[in-house]
Amino acid sequence: MDNRRVFLKKAGISTLALSLPYATTLSAMQTQNEDKILRVAIMGLGSYGTRVAEAMKDCKRAKLVGVVSGTPTKIADWQNKYGIPAKNCYNYENFDQVKDNPDIDVVYMTTPNSLHKPHCLRLAAAGKHVISEKPMALNAVEGREMVDACTKAGVHLLVGYRMHFEAKTLEVVRMQRAGDFGKTLFFQGLSGFIIGDPTQWRLNRELAGGGSMMDIGIYSVNGARYMLGEEPIWVTAQESKTDPVKFKEGVDETITFQMGFPSGAIASCLSTYALNYLDKFFLNGTKGFAEMQPSTGYGPIKAWTNKGPIEREHITHQTTQMDEMAAIILDGKKPVIPVDGEEGLKDLVIIDAIYEAVRAGKKVEIK
């Protein structure tokens, strides 16, 4: 018995802990784990960065502790509003110094698309986890560089797929996977709005990498994949433009695209900056259907199936997203729908193929 006590003491395990029921001990361990808080710095203090910051006020597992911005006045405003200490504030020239700051776990990049890759590589080199807004990069080549850099550095690369945690979305996905709709053979995704200020970065090819497809269109690309539960093997696509002054060369106004899947399922989708009221998903199977409208807006999401409406409490998407991402990073939780860099890379491969299909005017196989 004495030898056993000595062993337990060295191992840091008490005899009391071993005498407790397994479930009680496990519960205590989980509670201790849930006490950990993910400490977040936001890079890019624009409208979406502000939306994430406001949502995080209600988070249980994630806390805003730092900022990265090229605008000193914004930094000062955020310091006052969110109580951020000066030591956790950086600009785009010196944010590599975050490597010496143990009070920041992850940096959430809400910057223009073209900045995601270079900033991600610098953050990975600094040993910090990275959350990137979508699309993760300008193309699949850049996306692969980001994934590889974070893997090499041993840090997480996550993508801001907030809909992957939205309750009604998850219920439709659960029903599809359970076979409630039979064999699902058709998906429709309509994603669009009328974009405003023609001088904004989203209409700058160098910063955005394209037009509507590199912004709102990714929702239909990604939605088709998680709603059908498959990866597409081919795409066709067509571009149309009604305002070539506002939508210059290389900045797409409207793209209609189709995707084919191994099961024989087809997705028919629209991405546009020219029309409002386009936020709809429709999934059809041999035994039923699901429809969502709005399907990806900030909410509340509305969803119904052939069995009736889906009712779930609306929680601010970014609040749920950041708490769930905290669980992924801190606890190793596996989400129902992935949000890692490999998931972001799959969307980029498809978007590359869509642009190639527009240029070539023919079906493009996805390898």
Give the tens place of pLDDT for each residue, 21-49. 444 444 444 555 668 999 999 999 999 99
Give pLDDT tens digits for 253-282: 999 999 999 999 999 999 999 999 999 999
**Local confidence band at 14 (pLDDT 50, 70, 90 cut-offs):** very low
Domain assignment present for residue 184? The answer is yes
Interval 288-315 mean pLDDT: 98
| pLDDT in the model for residue 25 | 47
Structural domain total, the chain: 3
User: 25 lies in which domain range?
Assistant: 2-34
Same domain, 244 and 357: yes
Local structure of residue 332 (DSSP, 8 states): -
- Exposure of 248 in the CB half-sphere (CA atoms within 13 A): 11
Q: Residue 348's domain is classified under what CATH number? A: 3.30.360.10
Give the catalytic positions in this structure: 134, 219
Same domain, 189 and 151: no
| pLDDT in the model for residue 32 | 54
| pLDDT in the model for residue 364 | 98
Q: Residue 111's domain is classified under what CATH number? A: 3.40.50.720
Residue 103, both tokens: 């009070």
Same domain, 52 and 10: no
**Local confidence band at 2 (pLDDT 50, 70, 90 cut-offs):** very low
Domain assignment present for residue 320? The answer is no
Q: Of 161, 176, 208, at which residue does a domain stop?
A: 161
Q: Which residue has the tokens 């433009």?
A: 241
| pLDDT in the model for residue 33 | 64
What is the arrangement of strands in the sheet containing 266-272, beginning at the earlier edge strand? Answer: 308-310, 303-305, 289-292, 278-285, 184-192, 266-272, 254-260, 234-240, 364-365
Same domain, 132 and 259: no
Give pLDDT tens digits for 332-361: 999 999 999 999 999 999 999 999 999 999
Give the other-Cβ count within 10 Å of 112's Cβ: 19
Give the other-Cβ count within 10 Å of 364's Cβ: 19
* Torsion angle in degrees (nearest 10) through CA of 161, 165, 169, 175: 120
185 Cβ contact partners less than 8 Å away, ≥ 6 residues apart: 263, 264, 265, 266, 284, 285, 286
Give pLDDT tens digits for 291-304: 999 999 999 999 99
Give pLDDT tens digits for 148-190: 999 999 999 999 999 999 999 999 999 999 999 999 999 999 9
Hey, is 186 helix, strand or coil?
strand
Same domain, 190 and 297: yes
Give pLDDT tens digits for 188-238: 999 999 999 999 999 999 999 999 999 999 999 999 999 999 999 999 999
